[in-house]
Structure 1
Amino acid sequence: MPTQPKANRGPSAGPENRRALIVAAREVFASEGLSAPLSSVARKAGVGQGSLYRHFPDRTALAVAVFEENLTELELFIDRPESTLRDLLERVIDQAVVSTALIDLIWAHSHDERVVHLGDRLRDMVERKVQREKESGVLGAHVTVEDVLLAVSMLAGVLARSDADERRAVGSRAVVLFTLAFGPR
């Protein structure tokens, strides 16, 4: 028996389709790598390719959407009074482990106007966290925002180049090193 096609709900389905595409992109690129066909993303999201391209005209647009969502999650978390810089680094690991294929794409397009604001958002978040950690005495006075941004960049880069089954262990070792380097002297 042939399957019935989904009813076209028109523009009202847009936000739901966009969200489904972002979730599907994470899963597809995590399992198949960056060269996975975009049709696989659309199929996994349960939408047509037309819907995919309406929301995301290219891979960069899709990667930016994934990272925007990642940053929103980090911002909500990092603004909690009990969150720490170590917690931020642990969350970066969690996100990088499932977004490794997209990290290289974002870095390759770092000057693209769609990508630049991601770095600005990360910088603002790190500035807030560094200031709070210094005021509480957890972070050494020698640590700068640039140091923490470098650590995040190094962490994402090494995770993107590590074997999938080793990423968590590699990330944990890196966080220990950063914690020791960033502590008060």
Structure 2
Amino acid sequence: MSTKRNRGPGAAAENREALLAAAREAFSEHGAGVPLSTIARNAGVGQAVLYRHFPTREMLAHAVFDQNMARIEALAATPDADIREVADLITHQIEGMAAVISLFAADEDSPHQRELVTRMRTALDPVLARAREAGQVRTDATIDELLTAIGMVAALVMRSPAAHRHDRAEQAWRLIASGLGPR
């Protein structure tokens, strides 16, 4: 006898959010290959509900990425957000999603990758401009340099054991700051 109760179509948005939260946690803890049944169970829904929202693992991972990107965009749009705050949020998300990032990194020319880079560029451009004005980075620092730095941190974090990801990311940002910092 099942203990799950069908909450009906009115619970669709709530189920989707529960699935995204469970996926974010499961990907972080177990990697991109975590069984989808684990994600559904942790979200408190059946696998049919998971597949109704996300027919493939990639669609689920893309949705988690999109939600993460929306958080970056929201912080970056805050007029008083500085470059370090935004970099910290990006780093935190990279640390948690390293296995999933590697899933997508193999296809740099995918439409989703291009969209992600465009969204990141759009979100970070005003943050970088504020950092230049505040003297936090070189006046000639470019958005391409910042995106390259983020890519370097992501590559390093993806290859690090989970227990060392944060320390490695911090070390990398210190080195990068010496190159982007004011001269």
- What is the TM-score when the length of structure 1 is the normalising length? 0.91
Give the equivalent residue in structure 1 for 2:106: 108
Find the aligned partners of 2:92 and 2:112 in 1 and give their Cα distance. 23
Going from structure 1 to structure 2, the CA distance change for 1:13 and 1:54 (only over 3 Å counts) comes to: same
What amino acid does structure 2 have at the position aligned with 1:60?
Answer: E
Match of 1:4 in 2: 3
Whether the 8 Å contact between 2:27 and 2:99 is mirrored in structure 1 is yes
Residue of structure 1 aligned with 2:73, choices 67, 70, 75: 75
Structure 2 SS opposite 1:102: helix
Identical columns (%) = 37
Task: Identify which of 29, 36, 41 aligns with 1:31.
Answer: 29
> Partner amino acid for 1:119?
V
> 1:131-170 residue pairs with structure 2 within 5 A?
131-170=129-168
Q: Determine if contact 1:74/1:91 at 8 Å carries over to the other structure.
A: yes
Contact conserved, 1:22 with 1:65, CA < 8 A, in 2? yes
Match of 1:129 among 118, 127, 130: 127
- Any stretches of 5+ residues in structure 1 without a counterpart? none
Using a 3 Å threshold, how does the CA distance of structure 1 residues 20 and 109 change in structure 2: closer, same or farther?
farther
Bigger drift between 49-58 and 128-137 goes to 128-137
Distance 1:175 1:114, change over 3 A: closer
- Aligned with 1:70: secondary structure? helix
Q: Displacement of 1:22 after TM fit?
A: 0.8
Aligned residues of 1:17 and 1:47 also touching (Cα < 8 A): yes
Please provide the CA RMSD for this pair: 1.6
Structure 1 residue 123 displacement after superposition: 1.0
Alpha carbons of 1:18 and 1:36: their partners in 2 closer, same or farther (altered >3 Å)? same
Equivalent of 1:17 in 6, 15, 19: 15
- Counting matched residue pairs gives 183
For residues 107 and 51 of structure 2, the distance between their equivalents in structure 1, rounded to whole angstroms, comes to 19
Q: Judging changes above 3 Å, is the alpha-carbon distance between structure 1 residues 39 and 3 closer, same or farther for their aligned structure 2 residues?
A: closer
TM-score (normalizing by structure 2): 0.92
Instruction: Name stretches of at least 5 consecutive residues in structure 2 with no aligned partner.
Output: none
| Match of residue 57 from structure 1 | 55
CA distance 1:176–1:113, change in 2 (3 Å): same
Could you tell me which residue of structure 1 aligns to residue 95 of structure 2? Answer: 97
